[in-house]
Amino acid sequence: MAASQASLLLQKQLRDLCKKPVDGFSAGLVDESDVFEWSVSIMGPPDTLYEGGFFNAIMSFPKNYPNSPPTVRFTSEMWHPNVYPDGKVCISILHPPGDDPNGYELATERWSPVHTVESIVLSIISMLSGPNDESPANVDAAKQWRDSREEFRKRVSRCVRKSQEML
């Protein structure tokens, strides 16, 4: 039952995005037969180090969506404090609902069923605009962000160039 409700909700969100595309990204299904696996292309936000890049990601939804958050993993190379080396995105709204066992995040900052594909991707775009180096997923990127901005910029520039070559 839950999977069919999740499927209907995801189909609706896909239709809405097709009818009214949102600036900064595009999204669709990886495979037309599986509404739980989405391909997302994010344009690097203007006036950021990621500007000009085209970054691809996979958004995987659990069968009990929207009660639990999807996972998002960049398939394009990404250098960012809030992206694990394997590409998985680490932002508060993608963490399970409820209290943070580590006491870092408020329950109100974590996953809520009101989030949509659009709000998730817009949060990721916001993350690209302003990294959070206080609780990094990629410690090396966070350290470089804090200690050597020029080296961080060079590393991100390589990611942007690679993303452009993939077009």
Domain ranges of the chain: 2-165
Residue-wise pLDDT for 72-128, tens only, equals: 999 999 999 999 999 999 999 999 999 888 888 888 999 999 999 999 999 999 999
| pLDDT over 90 percentage in the chain | 87
Whether the pLDDT of residue 1 is over 90: the answer is: no
Backbone angles phi, psi at 28, to 5 degrees: -165, 180
Fold of the domain spanning 2-165? Ubiquitin Conjugating Enzyme (3.10.110)
Residue predicted with more confidence, 57 or 3: 57
Whether the pLDDT of residue 167 is over 80: the answer is: no
DSSP 111: -
Length of the chain: 167
- Map tokens 């995005």 to a residue: 17
In Å, how far are 112, 119, 165 from 93, measured between CA atoms?
7, 10, 31
Q: Which pLDDT does position 100 carry in this prediction?
A: 86
| Residues assigned a catalytic role | 90
